[in-house]
Amino acid sequence: MPSATPSSPPRIVLGVAGGIAAYKAVDLLRRLRALDYHVAPILTPDATRFVGTVTFSALASEPARTSLYGDAVTPIPHTYLAQHCDLIVVAPATAHLIARYAHGLADDLLCATLLATRAPVVLCPAMHTEMWEQPSVQENLATLRRRGVLVLGPVAGALAGGDEGAGRMVEPEEIVHAVKAVLGGDRGPLSGRHVLVSAGGTREAIDPVRVIANRSSGRQGYAIATVAARLGARVTLVTTLERALALDVTRAVDVVRVESAEELLDAMTAHQREADVVIMAAAVADFRVVASEHKLKRSQGVPTLQLEPTPDVLAALVGARVAGQVVVGFAAETTDVETHAREKLVKKDVDLLVVNDVSAPGVGFEHETNEVLILGRDGEGERVSLRSKEGVAEVILARVASLLTQGAP
């Protein structure tokens, strides 16, 4: 099963897990074959309790596989399938399959193939409502989304046993639509876009040893980079952090390391022209010390530190903005938060301003959570309640995607 060439049809691995919605996978297979896609089915052992391999083999481009172990022709089927496909679709994806995939288990052919591939993966969850709403299921899906997996559905509707609720697998027609989009290069609302993000707090030298810094952890900027990559963007992350925060989508994120406000400005302006979106999440020092060339000695007494202003990075980026580019600024406040934010919105001339009260519990620096107010050019505000920083990033980037669709000024 060699991967597709410009003259050959796309090659898809269709994974079927053990749920009642497995019967819909037969219709999905038929629709994919009608588009002349090459489809190789993998059924989990539990799936065969609902559907038969003979049916899939008859309709597919090659016989359905169920065993982790190969034969003389294909001795290692999971690496063969994983390396020679353009897309993997799992429909239905049960809670059990999702958990094993998220935790890196490779105890059957489908999970082993998922772990071995670098092709896009589309999961179509299907399960009972109570299972869908379990925090463990949602956490496993959040992990997979961070790693770039596309999750389609589920929807509300009739379930097995006569119940109604969320958990019904999306219909094959919708899955085919998503397959076409992914094969066309679509990975989400930011597909084909370049997002430039800054993160962390700048450090300004006092002498060759000491610095003036701030309390920014960089977590919100890293969350934006992660979510932007998950939504299909190519991301450049300019960061002041020496330690690497978790980036599960490193193949889609180019990391540029800087330290001072001056270095941050240079790096951001160097990448700005090719960016569709510029997000200034970094906390930039307003002042820097006129640094000593040599280490200051305690024996010399208390030094007098002369301060001078640092470059206004956000103002420079707004001034150099290219047509259609969306610029997002951040503001950390402790008093009169909304008043100061609205003043900054006008002064900085950004498309969106994200402001938070860093004195509030669980908000801002070093916290895993954040709570923000997002202001647009029209002055309308959207309050985002306390949640994970990735959750905040999702709201910010939804606004950004909307502005890109409309065409930013």
CA distance 45 to 150: 24
CA distance 298 to 220: 37
Asked if residues 267 and 285 have their Cβ atoms less than 8 Å apart, the reply is no
CA distance 145 to 93: 14
Q: What HEC string does the chain produce?
A: CCCCCCCCCCEEEEEECCCCCHHHHHHHHHHHHHCCCEEEEEECCCHHHCCCHHHHHHHCCCCCECCCCCCCCCCCHHHHHHHCCCEEEEEEECHHHHHHHHCCCCCCHHHHHHHHCCCCEEEEECCCHHHHCCHHHHHHHHHHHHCCCEECCCEEEECHHHCEEEEECCCHHHHHHHHHHHHCCCCCCCCCCEEEEEECECCEECCCCCEECCCCCCHHHHHHHHHHHHCCCEEEEEECCCCCCCCCCHHHEEEEECCCHHHHHHHHHHHHCCCCEEEECCECCCEEECCCCCCCCHHHCCCCCCEEECCCHHHHHHHCCCCCCEEEEEEEECCCHHHHHHHHHHHHCCCEEEEEECCCCCCCCCCCEEEEEEEECCCCEEEEEEEEHHHHHHHHHHHHHHHHHHCCC
CA distance 164 to 130: 11
Over its C-alpha atoms, the chain yields an Rg (Å, rounded) of 25
Residue 140 annotated as catalytic: no
Which residues on adjacent β-strands are paired with residue 158?
164
Catalytic residue (one of 140, 214, 356, 370): 214
CA distance 42 to 65: 5
- Catalytic residue set: 214
